[in-house]
Amino acid sequence: MYAQRRNPATGIDVDRETRKYVINEEEAMVVRYIFSSYADGAGYNQIIRYLNANGYRSKRGKAFGKNSIHDLLKNIRYTGVYTFNMRRVKDPLGNRSNKVKPKEEQIIIEGGMPAIIDKETFERVQIQMRRNRQEAGRKHAHSVYLLSR
């Protein structure tokens, strides 16, 4: 697949000659660490402290933060799936929008780019993220609420 993005994700580069996506092994090592650590139960803060303490930086050269880790963990492209045209940039009135487009408008190509992690690890991380999102409020509640699960 020919590269369309100007700034590919951490761990991915664009070959200048072929204009195809290639794995940047130094950055890919960081991506694999983030996915495996999160899948093994490490939280965002633990991962961020390790990466920043050891001098690792995001693709843009900035220190890792919660948003960059969250976005990285949600990015299906790391499994080798090329995605394009996924979200609306503007709504019908011209206002900014971040809504997902209908499936028939999305471009999804299995094997369209090099895979850094396997699909099983990606799925384990997605399950862990859903579980953590559901459990987050329960850790801070001081009493059981009538309408909670």
The string of DSSP letters for 26-47 reads HHHHHHHHHHHHHHTT--HHHH
**pLDDT reported for residue 103:** 82
**pLDDT reported for residue 138:** 59
Phi, psi values for residue 15, rounded to 5° = -70, 125
**pLDDT reported for residue 79:** 96
**pLDDT reported for residue 139:** 59
**pLDDT-flagged residues of the chain (< 50):** 5
State both tokens at 82: 């090329």
**pLDDT reported for residue 96:** 74
**pLDDT reported for residue 4:** 52
Contact 86, 106 (CB under 8 A): yes
β-sheet bridge partners, residue 22: 13
**pLDDT reported for residue 149:** 58
State both tokens at 148: 């909670």
